[in-house]
Amino acid sequence: MKFEDYRIAEGIKTSISKLGYKKPTDIQYKSIPPILRGEDVLAIAQTGTGKTAAFAIPILHILQERKQNSRPDGVKCLIMVPTHELAIQTESVFQKLGKHTKIDSFCIHGGVDQAPQIEQLNKGVDILIATPGRMFDLVSQGVLNLKRVEILVLDEADHMLDLGFIKDILDLMRHIPRKRQTLFFSATINEKIKKLAYSLVNNAIRIQIAPEDPVAKNIDHAVAFVEMDDKRFFLESLIRDNSEKKILVFVRTKLRAERVKSALERVNLTSDSIHSDKAQSFRASTMESFRSGKLKVLIATDVSARGIDIPNVDYVINYDLPEGLENYVHRIGRTGRGKQKGLAISFCSLQEKKFLEIIEKNLGKPIQRIDISDEEYNYTLDISQDKVNDLKSLLLEVEENELKHKKRKGNKKK
Ligand code: AMP
């Protein structure tokens, strides 16, 4: 099946071919026809499978057909997503695919001034992509009317539940017409998700993509046993050996993100980090510079990285192992997007072996090991440009700096 064979507007086909999509991915093949027929869909699919276009293509077509003889009188399609980044990325997919249609797509999210968002809503928006918090605010203020919504999409519903958005979502349902088409997407499924799904969808078509192996076939992923304090040397060595590659490094906390960034700075390697403590404008400019390839190494936490679509990430490094399969799949799904090949390497310390066991148990198979001989291991530590390569001297340096800082403050007071 080719996109040419679908009964969708020519303008959308032009955009699809400009994006370089030749054939529909699995999820697109399975979802586009029922969505075009107006059916509700409940799809279990991870990011990286092409799921955004799987709903964007038919939605744009449906709204384009309906718009021929109707005036713009409110939001027709509402897409709820868990994070700012996913909102921006989804908007960009809609804008690219809808370039040759008369459909206006727009995204709203928190963390930025709401006035320009309200201004744009007043001008008329057909497709609104939004995070639940900001959307709830605007509806409560009476500046966003959802009475004309015909299609509702919940994307990454499992992540929305994790972030505690359930109440916002259910409250918002009171503002959306009951008679509508609902498309529900989640990377994983459990009892809670099922309950939410069945409260929203009606006789949905169920689509499940590769449930046995949640890791896309085109991603090679492996684990290397590296002690916690040695991880920075292995990251340093990996970055030096692959200086032209785009590398996304995952860490467990914001603090760790900053520490890894400093450790790389000490050895003259440039990187940047995104996490929720950073202002939205910083996050957006960091993402842009990573997307354009100017920035080669990006350090991220799970929350900040949900929904990021960065084409051509060559390597994903799990600097810290995530605690479960879901985050593991989401993280490594950042490489090998669409039909490209991807590579993901996880650093696993002694303390993290329990997480590895959980991941492998849920994955149903072992993850490939990278054997590092003692010689290689020691060599990696030896060649590091980090002058302070043992933890004790590092701590001593921190203590000395603090002492100097206190002295300086004391001197100033005097
Ligand atoms: P998603 O799962 O929506 O995050 O999409 C993952 C990536 O796959 C994005 O970079 C898309 O541009 C790409 N993609 C989506 N559909 C196709 C397709 N039919 N052929 C090739 N790449 C695609």
d(CA 359, CA 346): 12
Mean pLDDT of the chain: 89
Asked whether this chain's domains 3-209 and 219-413 adopt the same fold, the reply is yes
Cα 40–Cα 91–Cα 278 angle in degrees, nearest 5: 120
Identify which of 13, 22, 25 to mutate to test ligand 1's pocket (most ligand atoms within 8 A of the CB): 25
| 47 pocket-lining for ligand 1 (C-beta < 6 Å) | yes
The H-assigned helical ranges of 242-337 are 254-266, 280-292, 302-305, 325-332
Residue count of the chain, please give it: 414
**At residue 209, does pLDDT exceed 50?**
yes
SS3 call for 180: coil
Burial 43-54 (b: 16+ CB within 10 A, else e): bbbbbbbbbbbb
SS3 call for 382: helix
Domain range summary for the chain, segments of one domain joined by +: 3-209, 219-413
**42 within 8 A of 205, measured Cβ to Cβ:** yes
| 309 pocket-lining for ligand 1 (C-beta < 6 Å) | yes
Q: Shortest CA distance to 29 belongs to which of 7, 2, 56, 65?
A: 2
**223 within 8 A of 368, measured Cβ to Cβ:** yes
| 90 pocket-lining for ligand 1 (C-beta < 6 Å) | no
How many Cβ atoms from other residues are within 10 Å of residue 368's Cβ? 10
d(CA 146, CA 172): 9
Summarised one tens digit per residue, pLDDT across range 311-345 is 678 999 999 999 888 889 888 988 887 777 899 99
Cα distances (angstroms) measured from residue 97 to each of 17, 57, 338: 10, 7, 16
**84 within 8 A of 135, measured Cβ to Cβ:** no
Q: Band the pLDDT of 397: cuts 50, 70, 90.
A: low
Q: Band the pLDDT of 49: cuts 50, 70, 90.
A: confident
Q: Band the pLDDT of 365: cuts 50, 70, 90.
A: confident
Q: Give the CATH fold of the 3-209 domain.
A: Rossmann fold (3.40.50)
Identify the weakest region by mean pLDDT among 54-68, 222-236, 390-404: 390-404
- Region for residue 20 given its phi and psi (left: phi exceeds 0; alpha: psi -120 to 50; beta: otherwise): left
| 336 pocket-lining for ligand 1 (C-beta < 6 Å) | no
For residue 222, what are the β-bridge partners? 345, 368
Cα distances (angstroms) measured from residue 206 to each of 3, 30, 51, 60, 299: 22, 10, 14, 21, 36
Summarised one tens digit per residue, pLDDT across range 22-34 is 899 999 999 999 9
**194 within 8 A of 29, measured Cβ to Cβ:** no
Separation of CA 5 and ligand 1 centre (Å): 19
SS3 call for 129: strand
Identify the weakest region by mean pLDDT among 11-20, 94-103, 284-293, 395-404: 395-404
Catalogue the E-assigned strands of 70-143. 77-80, 105-108, 127-130
Identify the weakest region by mean pLDDT among 108-117, 194-203, 226-235, 308-317: 308-317
**At residue 96, does pLDDT exceed 50?**
yes
Residue 203: burial class (beta carbons within 10 Å; 0-12, 13-18, 19+): exposed
Chain centroid, CA 121 distance in Å: 25
SS3 call for 342: strand
d(CA 173, CA 113): 25
The average pLDDT across 161-184 equals 92
Assigned token pair, 133: 């918090």
Provide the pLDDT for residue 111: 87
Summarised one tens digit per residue, pLDDT across range 220-267 is 999 999 999 999 999 999 999 999 999 999 999 999 999 999 999 999
**251 within 8 A of 264, measured Cβ to Cβ:** no
Provide the pLDDT for residue 39: 97
Atom of ligand 1 nearest to the CA of 47: 2
| 185 pocket-lining for ligand 1 (C-beta < 6 Å) | no
Assigned token pair, 280: 């939205």
Task: Name residue 333's amino acid.
Answer: G
| 1 pocket-lining for ligand 1 (C-beta < 6 Å) | no
Q: Band the pLDDT of 399: cuts 50, 70, 90.
A: low
Separation of CA 226 and ligand 1 centre (Å): 33
Assigned token pair, 177: 């017409």
Provide the pLDDT for residue 309: 63
Instruction: Among 3.40.50.300, 4.10.80.400, 1.10.150.530, 1.10.10.10, name the CATH number for the domain at 219-413.
Output: 3.40.50.300
Separation of CA 89 and ligand 1 centre (Å): 12
Provide the pLDDT for residue 364: 77
Atom of ligand 1 nearest to the CA of 45: 2
Q: Band the pLDDT of 412: cuts 50, 70, 90.
A: very low
| 322 pocket-lining for ligand 1 (C-beta < 6 Å) | no
Separation of CA 160 and ligand 1 centre (Å): 22
d(CA 210, CA 25): 12
Separation of CA 335 and ligand 1 centre (Å): 12
The average pLDDT across 96-118 equals 95
